[in-house]
Amino acid sequence: MRRLLLGLAVAIATSGGAHAVTPDEKLDDPALEARARTLSVELRCMVCQNQSIDDSDAPLAHDLRVLLRERIEAGDSDEEVMDFLVARYGDFILLKPRFNAQTALLWAAPVLLLALGGVAAFRVMRRRKATVATAQSLSQDENAALARILSEK
């Protein structure tokens, strides 16, 4: 039982996610490799589309990881590497798109939808309240009967 728990603990501790980076891709300099890993988590695999290139086993993801490391070794800054890849593949390669004129609607859509939902809910509630108030108002005969009952007491 103790061995099972120890094995389970080791398995959990070492399972930091599925990384598809192969040993031949890794850079010798740990600082550059750390930069490459940080950037590769932000880039979308164009084949898998819901995975970063760091997690994908697709051949294109491998090529992108190699290209990324080549650009870093050539001395490009993180921003220059990202700009190069965006220029080559478009904004879709970014898992978190940048805010610009082309992506403004994408970023503003949740706020706009929430505001429209709030306005719609307000109008429905106001209309419902007016309908209830109209339904609860008494006719002239009912008002006369009510006045008679109240005057008797």
Query: Whole-model pTM above 0.85?
Result: no
Q: Is the pLDDT of residue 76 over 80?
A: yes
Tokens of 107: 């970023």
Tell me if 97 sits within 8 A of 85, measured CB to CB. no
Residue 14, pLDDT above cutoff 90:
no
The pLDDT score that the predictor gives to residue 132 is 66
The identity of residue 48, as a single letter, is C
Amino acid at site 84 = F
Specify the pLDDT at position 28.
78
Q: What is the model's pLDDT at position 5?
A: 60
Contact 64, 53 (CB under 8 A): yes
Residue 16 has pLDDT above 60, yes or no: no
Report whether 71 contacts 86 (CB < 8 A). no
- Residue 2 in 3-state DSSP? helix
Whether the per-residue pLDDT at 18 is higher than 60: the answer is no
The reply to whether CATH 3.10.129.10 applies to domain 2-93 is: no
pLDDT of residue 83: 92
pLDDT tens digits, one per residue of 94-150 = 888 877 787 788 788 899 999 999 999 999 998 887 776 666 677 888 888 888 998
> What pLDDT, on a 0 to 100 scale, did the predictor assign at position 118?
95
SS3 (DSSP) at 90: coil
Contact 47, 34 (CB under 8 A): no
CA torsion 37-89-22-36 (nearest 10°) is: -20
Residues 6 or more apart whose CB falls under 8 angstroms from that of 42 comprise: 52, 82, 94, 95, 96
Q: What is the C-alpha separation between 65 and 62, in angstroms, rounded?
A: 5
pLDDT higher for 41 or 13? 41
